[in-house]
């Protein structure tokens, strides 16, 4: 079935419809060289040579790696072939219709298909067994995608390398309202956790914004933990999570992909998009199944620690 490509309206301000991203996969790949790893599905060797400087994603010193060199952070070379790559997991009603977002030649597309949750063949994109439409993005979001390369992706956003110093990694929300809400909540949670001296990554105080608000943020490069030996970090992790709870917060999603190491080798917690202040009402943009009740509690963290790390608080 030939693709149907709807007219390009990439730079319009039209909002895509609100969609609810189901939790598709919270596993990480076993390849130890992948970094950073963020609810990681795959590391994708794609390099975009469009490198115009833009205030939406350029640090104040304006520095970036040379386009003729290997990036020191993502280790991808210039002029690598540009192929279509998914930036979100398949989502949809089981056995009926599915969709995902695809990065192709500096544009973001929504792909829809039927019958099974596996991605369609993207090798001849945009000719696929399904339909394709260009996603409307603001100028700021478009430039952030165009000036970076895809590293990893997950339920609510993708992680990309901007080749910029001193904070080369950017996390961008998927182009729908729900993902934006979760990224905004995640950014606010990171600020609150840092204010309480909890171990979170170094990130830019100024988020990436457009006329509709926050769509992403910049942060330091991180490295995955050794998932074959989670027992080695269990004591440190137990101490960290106790500090989080004692400070009045839950994390909400303590799976191995959300525990990482910084450049000094210290453990840090990432992606608190499903966390919040203990005792407060869980907002509508967090899946209702994530907590046993209607308020933030420590029970989910305790369950995940025991399940993934054999840690009992």
pLDDT digits (tens, 9 = 90+) for 232-263: 899 999 999 999 999 999 999 999 999 999 99
Beta bridge partners of 149: 161
Instruction: Note the pLDDT tens digit of each residue in 104-146.
Output: 988 999 999 998 899 999 999 999 999 999 999 999 999 999 9
DSSP-assigned letters across all residues of 234-260: HHHHHHHHHHHHHTTEE-S---GGGEE
Asked if residue 197 has pLDDT above 90, the reply is: yes
Burial code (b: 16+ CB inside 10 Å, e: under 16) for 241-273 equals: bebbbeeebbbbbbebbbbbbbeeeeebbbbbb
Beta bridge partners of 214: 209
The residue ranking higher by pLDDT, 192 or 16, is 192
> 192 in helix, strand or coil?
helix
> 52 in helix, strand or coil?
coil
How far is residue 6's CA from residue 48's CA, in Å, rounded to a whole number?
24
Q: Which residue has the tokens 């007219």?
A: 7
Residue 153, pLDDT score: 94
Backbone angles phi, psi at 26, to 5 degrees: -120, 35
Average pLDDT over residues 24-49: 32
Q: So where are the chain's domains? A: 22-219, 223-309
Domain 223-309: which topology?
A: Transferase(Phosphotransferase); domain 1 (1.10.510)
Instruction: Note the pLDDT tens digit of each residue in 83-100.
Output: 899 999 999 877 789 999
Among 12, 7, 9, CA closest to 138: 12
81 pLDDT band (50/70/90 cuts)? low
């Amino acid at each position: 079935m030939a693709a149907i490509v709807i007219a390009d309206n990439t730079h319009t301000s039209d909002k895509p419809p609100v969609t609810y991203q189901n939790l598709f996969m919270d596993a990480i790949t076993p390849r130890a060289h992948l970094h950073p790893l963020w609810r990681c599905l795959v590391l994708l060797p794609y390099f975009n040579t469009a490198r115009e400087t833009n205030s939406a994603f350029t640090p104040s010193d304006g520095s970036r790696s040379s386009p003729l060199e290997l990036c020191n952070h993502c280790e991808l070379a210039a002029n690598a072939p540009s192929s279509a790559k998914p930036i979100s997991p398949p989502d949809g009603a089981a056995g009926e219709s599915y969709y995902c977002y695809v990065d192709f030649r500096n544009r973001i597309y929504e792909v829809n298909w039927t019958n099974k949750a596996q991605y369609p063949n993207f090798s001849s994109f945009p000719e696929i067994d399904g339909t394709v439409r260009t996603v409307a993005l603001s100028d700021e979001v478009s430039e952030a995608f165009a000036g970076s390369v895809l590293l990893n992706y997950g339920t609510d956003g993708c992680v990309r390398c901007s080749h910029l110093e001193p904070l080369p990694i950017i996390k961008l929300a998927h182009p729908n309202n729900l993902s934006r809400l979760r990224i905004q909540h995640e950014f606010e949670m990171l600020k609150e956790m840092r204010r309480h001296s909890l171990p979170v990554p170094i990130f830019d105080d100024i988020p990436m914004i457009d006329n509709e608000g926050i769509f992403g943020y910049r942060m330091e490069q991180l490295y995955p933990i050794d998932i074959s030996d989670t027992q080695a970090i269990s004591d440190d992790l137990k101490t960290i999570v106790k500090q989080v709870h004692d400070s009045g917060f839950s994390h909400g999603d303590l799976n191995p992909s959300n525990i990482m190491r910084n450049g000094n080798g210290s453990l840090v917690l990432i992606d608190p998009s499903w966390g919040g202040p203990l005792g407060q009402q869980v907002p509508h943009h967090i899946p209702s199944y994530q907590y046993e009740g209607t308020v933030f509690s420590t029970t989910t963290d305790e369950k995940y620690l025991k399940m993934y790390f054999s840690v009992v608080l």
